[in-house]
Amino acid sequence: MKVTVIISIYSWVVFYSMLNAHEGIRHKEETKKIRNETLSRMNQLYKKEIKAIFQKKCFDCHSGQTKFPWYFKLPVVRQWMEKDIKEGLKHLDLSNDFPFGGHGTPIEDLEAIRKTVREKTMPPLRYMLTHRHSSLTDQEEKAILEWIATSLNLILREESAH
């Protein structure tokens, strides 16, 4: 009975989260040309200041480095988690540093991450229920938002120089 109730609650949470994931963000097909030097600087800052945060808080669903919990072995849970990870990687793959993989451009990724951090839409509720410390701290949010602002400023400076 207890397992049935847990699975029912989890099913409802998964369904609700799927409806609200990314709040309909659509990525553009066009890409902006960013110089390799600028991307390299953005990546250096990412690796120095942000990557550790993302490894701790985001890599389970947005990289090929997922740490699976014991309940991953349960058939229904395994299917849900595999689907979530596949969807997460499609949107944003953090496996290979910046620029990230996925279907967005570097600028779109930065803007989507900024929106997600500000609106606290990640991680999804269903993930937080089983991972107590998965939400970003205020300090982590501030660091990510500062990195994004710095990165976007690097792009703006590059564009204004040409």
Give residue 127's pLDDT: 81
Give residue 28's pLDDT: 39
Task: Tally DSSP H helices, then E strands, for the chain.
Answer: 8, 0
pLDDT digits (tens, 9 = 90+) for 115-127: 999 999 999 887 8
Give residue 32's pLDDT: 53
Task: Tell me which residue range forms the domain holding 42.
Answer: 2-161
Give residue 77's pLDDT: 82
Number of domains the chain is built from: 1
Would the CA dihedral through 9, 10, 15, 21 be positive or negative?
Answer: positive
Q: What percent of the chain has pLDDT over 90?
A: 50
Low-confidence ranges of the chain (pLDDT < 70): 1-32, 162
Q: Which two tokens stand for residue 75?
A: 């058939």
- Only one residue has tokens 């990314």, namely 22
